[in-house]
């Protein structure tokens, strides 16, 4: 659809430049300030700091001119949150949101979409990246003339930071998200990857992972409406084309699994239906902005009509999550079950590169096609855990406590010292990525052994009850086997290294005494030597075995410091 004319209303940088340029930070904020001055239905709020030194701003649009979110929720209004410029070189949503906000206020037909919905827009999330303008870093992208940079002021990719929260941006976002508790969330992007006919692709938060009645509703009601809306608007879309390298879409592809590190995956932890718009990098900036505008408009249209049902389903899901006993914390692709989709792509060739002399990939736009392809969009549980009644977080684990607070997790403070029996994880094995990833060397494939132990609670320690509607955040961060757990993000790497040890020449005589005083250790040592030839030939390994089974072994080593408390 053609975008509504601005008439005598505010005109954006994008419109002034004949659709060739995107707003600077100053221009974009000036647009929304002017909109707020003109329309009392608009309020700008500074939410919190970002790494850039500038505050995170959010634009609220409320037809009633009431900006108290809790009151609006009590009135049955749905809250729709839009996040822009998380990757500042992908500014399509920045421009679409400016025009959409103006048109919702100044176009009488469109203004009805505010009857039952409150719109919240983050104009620029990655402000540091927006300020770092250039015209070369998006080498695969067709416009605009200048744009921001993917990394933020500290060179973090903010769309990997929603769990680890290394940045002030992510902290402020978490606090804003909890205040708004949005019913729908959209993060706007531009896609890399294959070439195809579509301007728009979409990531809906993975259906199996979202789960419950909310997932059924999204799949059966919301997504069909959205696909049809985009088609009728002239910007037909397809599921995000999740392929890389020499692969092409007609070789089939799988659904993107939006882990909690990503914006829509983070939203799903709180029972918010999350979407990521992904326009195609090789289409013109004008085509991409129009597609993003339609993408947002379609979801707002659906939300305004069906907001009460979405709210009711979210409330039902919240109740279920608060009572749920088992949680899936890791998923694996089901490569046996798939859907079939009609895909509009381009035939691919693989000629020899004139530069490298090796085979390269090249799409031929003169040969478009429509083909049925397999779309693998089902995921099965990989790791499932049963919830405890409480997690015990010692007061010294303040980085964990901070993040729980930022996400409005209810906690009970221990008032008096006491002993309790808890379940303690001991790390049996894990793997670690060889390359750095967003400031971390992530762990994966974690194996644990749970043991019953008596621990001392101290005043100031925290008990986290696992009976909250935010349970998924609690479990998926505190369970070490979860894909995006705090453990996997290196929050507890200090337990993976010994702080003390022994010198063999000193420990040798003491080890002999230990064996004499503890025949059970001696017996275990002999069994180990018989079963493991390499061990039997390694004197130091045998001394270490004795050390590890004695009271000299440090308790903190490989002992996960967040405990599980189950009431008797």
In sequence order, what DSSP letters do the residues of 526-560 get, joined into one string?
HHHHHH-HHHHT-HHHHHHHHHHTSTTS-TTTTB-
Phi, psi of 388 (to 5 degrees): -85, 175
Q: In this structure, are 283 and 185 located in the same domain? A: yes
Q: In this structure, are 530 and 459 located in the same domain? A: no
Q: In this structure, are 60 and 157 located in the same domain? A: yes
Residues near 448 by beta carbon (within 8 Å), at least 6 away in sequence: 425, 426, 427, 428, 480, 481, 560
The answer as to whether 366 is a domain residue is no
The answer as to whether 400 is a domain residue is yes
Q: Which residues pair with 273 in a beta bridge?
A: 184
Site of tokens 């339609």: 294
Q: In this structure, are 519 and 561 located in the same domain? A: no
Structural Rg of the chain based on CA atoms: 27
Residues near 178 by beta carbon (within 8 Å), at least 6 away in sequence: 270, 406, 407, 408
The answer as to whether 373 is a domain residue is no
Considering 299, 323, 347, which residue would you say is the last residue of a domain? 323
Contact indicator for 543, 507 with CB cutoff of 8 Å: yes
Q: What CA–CA distances, in Å, run from 130 to 31, 103, 134, 361?
A: 16, 24, 10, 32
Closest by CA position to 125, among listed 172, 79, 183: 172
CA atoms within a 13 Å half-sphere pointing along the CA-CB vector of 517? 10
462-465 and 390-393 strand pairing: antiparallel
Cα(151)–Cα(51) distance, integer angstroms: 11
Q: Which domain holds residue 392?
A: 381-498+557-565
Chain-centre distance of CA 426, in angstroms? Answer: 27
Q: Which residues pair with 448 in a beta bridge?
A: 427
Q: In this structure, are 126 and 239 located in the same domain? A: yes
The answer as to whether 175 is a domain residue is yes
Phi, psi of 122 (to 5 degrees): -90, 105
Phi, psi of 446 (to 5 degrees): -80, 135
> Could you give the angle at the alpha carbon of 168 between the alpha carbons of 167 and 171, nearest 5°?
95
Q: Which residues pair with 449 in a beta bridge?
A: 426
Q: In this structure, are 116 and 156 located in the same domain? A: yes
Q: In this structure, are 423 and 486 located in the same domain? A: yes
Domain count, the chain: 3
CA atoms within a 13 Å half-sphere pointing along the CA-CB vector of 543? 14
Chain-centre distance of CA 410, in angstroms? Answer: 21
Q: Which residues pair with 386 in a beta bridge?
A: 326
Q: What CA–CA distances, in Å, run from 505 to 228, 510, 525?
A: 76, 10, 19
Q: In this structure, are 99 and 211 located in the same domain? A: yes
Q: In this structure, are 292 and 441 located in the same domain? A: no
Spans of the chain below 70 pLDDT: 1-8
Cα(123)–Cα(120) distance, integer angstroms: 9
Instruction: Tell me the two tokens of residue 91.
Output: 């500014």
Residues near 494 by beta carbon (within 8 Å), at least 6 away in sequence: none
Considering 274, 298, 323, which residue would you say is the last residue of a domain? 323
Contact indicator for 398, 462 with CB cutoff of 8 Å: no
Helix residue ranges per DSSP H, 284-388: 285-323
The answer as to whether 340 is a domain residue is no
Q: In this structure, are 458 and 537 located in the same domain? A: no
Instruction: Tell me the two tokens of residue 216.
Output: 């059924």
pLDDT (0 to 100) of residue 178: 99
Residue 103: CATH number of its domain: 3.40.630.10
Q: In this structure, are 146 and 235 located in the same domain? A: yes
The answer as to whether 369 is a domain residue is no
Q: Which residues pair with 425 in a beta bridge?
A: 450
Helix residue ranges per DSSP H, 191-254: 207-210, 212-217, 223-232
Cα(123)–Cα(34) distance, integer angstroms: 14
Task: Characterise 372 by phi-psi region: left (phi > 0), alpha (psi -120 to 50), beta (else).
Answer: beta
The answer as to whether 117 is a domain residue is yes
Considering 280, 301, 323, which residue would you say is the last residue of a domain? 323
Site of tokens 């790390």: 427
The answer as to whether 339 is a domain residue is no
Q: In this structure, are 180 and 53 located in the same domain? A: yes
């Amino acid at each position: 659809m053609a975008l509504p004319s601005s008439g005598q209303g505010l005109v954006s940088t994008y419109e002034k430049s004949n659709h060739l340029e995107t707003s600077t930070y100053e221009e974009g904020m000036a647009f929304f300030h002017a909109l707020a001055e003109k329309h009392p239905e608009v309020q700008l709020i500074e939410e919190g700091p970002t790494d850039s030194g500038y505050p995170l701003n959010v634009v609220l649009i409320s037809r009633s001119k009431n900006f108290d979110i809790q009151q609006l929720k009590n009135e049955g209004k749905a809250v729709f949150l839009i996040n822009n410029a998380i990757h500042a070189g992908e500014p399509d949503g920045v421009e679409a949101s400016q025009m959409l906000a103006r048109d919702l206020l100044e176009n009488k037909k469109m203004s009805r979409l505010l009857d039952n919905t409150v719109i919240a827009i983050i104009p620029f999330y990655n402000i540091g990246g927006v300020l770092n303008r250039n015209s070369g870093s998006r080498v695969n992208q067709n416009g605009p003339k200048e744009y921001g940079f993917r990394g933020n002021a500290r060179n973090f990719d903010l769309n990997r930071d929603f769990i680890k929260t290394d940045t002030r941006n992510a902290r402020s976002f978490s606090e804003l998200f909890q205040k708004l508790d949005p019913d729908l969330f959209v993060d706007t992007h531009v896609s890399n990857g294959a070439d195809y006919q579509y301007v728009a692709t979409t990531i809906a938060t993975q259906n199996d992972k979202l789960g419950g009645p909310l997932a059924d509703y999204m799949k059966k009601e919301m997504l069909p409406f959205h696909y049809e809306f985009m088609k009728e608007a002239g910007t037909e879309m397809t599921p995000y084309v999740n392929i890389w390298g020499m692969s092409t879409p007609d070789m089939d592809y799988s659904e993107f699994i939006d882990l909690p590190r990503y914006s829509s995956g983070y939203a799903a932890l709180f029972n918010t239906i999350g979407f990521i718009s992904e326009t195609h990098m090789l289409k013109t900036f004008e085509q991409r902005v129009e597609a993003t505008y339609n993408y947002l408009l379609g979801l707002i249209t659906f939300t305004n009509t069906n907001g009460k049902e979405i709210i009711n389903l979210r409330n039902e899901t919240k109740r279920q999550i608060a009572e749920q006993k088992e949680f899936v914390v890791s998923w694996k692709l089901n490569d046996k079950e798939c859907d079939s989709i009609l895909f509009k792509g381009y035939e691919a060739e693989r000629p020899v590169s004139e530069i490298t002399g090796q085979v390269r990939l090249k799409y031929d736009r003169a040969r478009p096609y429509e083909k049925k392809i397999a779309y693998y969009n089902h995921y099965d549980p990989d790791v499932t855990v049963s919830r405890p009644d409480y997690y015990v977080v010692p007061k010294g684990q303040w980085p964990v406590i901070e993040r729980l607070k930022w996400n409005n997790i209810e906690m009970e403070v221990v008032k008096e010292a006491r002993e309790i029996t808890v379940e303690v994880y001991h790390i049996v094995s894990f793997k670690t990525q060889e390359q750095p990833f967003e400031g971390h060397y992530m762990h994966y494939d974690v194996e644990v052994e749970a043991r019953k132990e008596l621990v001392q609670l101290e005043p100031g320690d925290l008990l986290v009850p696992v009976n909250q509607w935010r349970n998924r955040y609690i479990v998926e961060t505190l369970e070490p086997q979860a894909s995006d757990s705090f453990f996997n993000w290196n929050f507890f790497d200090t337990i993976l290294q010994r702080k003390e040890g022994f010198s063999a020449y000193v420990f040798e005589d003491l080890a002999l005494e230990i064996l004499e005083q503890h025949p059970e250790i001696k017996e275990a040592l002999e069994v180990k030597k018989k079963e493991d030839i390499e061990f039997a030939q390694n004197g130091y390994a045998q001394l270490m075995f004795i050390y590890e089974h004695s009271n000299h072994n440090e308790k903190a080593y490989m002992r996960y410091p967040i405990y599980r408390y189950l009431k008797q």
